[in-house]
Amino acid sequence: MKRTIYFKNHPKIIATSTVAGPKESNGSINKYFEVKLNDDMFGEDTFEKAETKMLYTVIKNSIKNAKYDEDNIDCIIAGDLLNQIISSTFSARKFKCGYLGVYNACATFSESLIVGASMVDGGYMNNVICCSSSHFSSAERQYRYPLELGNTRPPQSQWTITGAGASLISSNGVGPMITAGTIGRVVDYGITDANNMGAAMAPAACDTLFAHFKETGLTPDYYDLIITGDLGTLGSRILKDLIWEKGYDIEKQHVDCGELVYNICEQEYQGGSGAGCSALVFNSYVYNKLNKGLYKKVLLVATGALLSTVSTQQGESIPAIAHAVVVEGNI
């Protein structure tokens, strides 16, 4: 059994694109976002259609940003939090290329990067778009309660990001390179509180990080940045404790996308979450700094809580997963 795979031909992320919701567009890294929405309906009549339009927009813009046209794209690899990943499907419907739907909850974006990098590195495809999205209002009403109820949120909760991000991975061109990935396994520590995703996901992040360090022989200081997807403040603290107990101190390198995206005030509690969280932050803030040479080696570890409303109602605990992707700058 091996979980770390290496991309020897160094597939490159030649372009990215992001769309951020209104709250995110007022957050701490807003200047890096490409499209900032004033209206979380994005001119549509349902939240689900708005999310679909966000994902469609980042796919379209990533092609434009690469100065490519649609005919250059072999495949869209996408996933999202909605039942039957409809945001992904209905976005892909507008393009002529192939489509592979993927789902690992909020780890979907890094899963899509691993599958996409394998396809390009292995010579099966030349240009692949990897993307994911989430929308606070479509997720909240699907996973928790109708928004109209105005439920009080517990202090350990996170705020599902309204956002989408896409990476165009190519066998040619210039951009940060995907050099390796460590595939997550399903980890379940028995957490049953669907409002405490950070605690459910931190053990999965620890498991994948530990496998990554062990299999590659690397230590945290190899990286300029170890960025988790959406553990939030509490989950990040748990991760740093867990991985420290395994002999690795990631305090200096670690940042969490969910912590980074908001000027955390009372409403978001532990920070952002959602399949759009790592996609939004990676494809804006992180990509920008990789391109400028400010980061040279980044480990993206997006984490996902693999529950559904039915699994929760049937008394199941919350399994989680984390996929790690190594992205190295060209400068």
Using CB under 8 A as the criterion, which residues of the chain lie in contact with a second copy when the complex forms?
1-3, 5-6, 46, 48-49, 70-75, 79, 81-86, 89-90, 92-93, 95-105, 111, 114-115, 118-119, 121-126, 142, 183-186, 188, 306-311, 314, 316, 319, 321
Closer Cβ to a second copy, 119 or 225, answer by number: 119
Contact 204, 320 (CB under 8 A): yes
Dihedral (C-alpha) 149, 267, 152, 150: value to the nearest 10 degrees? -10
- How near is the Cβ of 211 to a second copy at its closest, in Å? 9
Name the nearest CA neighbour of 142 among 12, 238, 210, 46.
46
Q: Facing residues of 177 across strands?
A: 12, 328
- How near is the Cβ of 266 to a second copy at its closest, in Å? 29
* CA 11 to chain CA centroid, nearest Å: 19
Closer Cβ to a second copy, 53 or 289, answer by number: 53
Closer Cβ to a second copy, 187 or 264, answer by number: 187
Name the nearest CA neighbour of 303 among 161, 195, 219, 198.
198
Closer Cβ to a second copy, 123 or 150, answer by number: 123
Contact 246, 212 (CB under 8 A): no
- How near is the Cβ of 1 to a second copy at its closest, in Å? 5
Closer Cβ to a second copy, 46 or 219, answer by number: 46
- How near is the Cβ of 270 to a second copy at its closest, in Å? 21
- How near is the Cβ of 224 to a second copy at its closest, in Å? 25
Which residues lie below 8 Å from residue 151, measured CB to CB, with a gap of 6+? 144, 145
- How near is the Cβ of 326 to a second copy at its closest, in Å? 14
Closer Cβ to a second copy, 160 or 236, answer by number: 160
Contact 10, 179 (CB under 8 A): yes
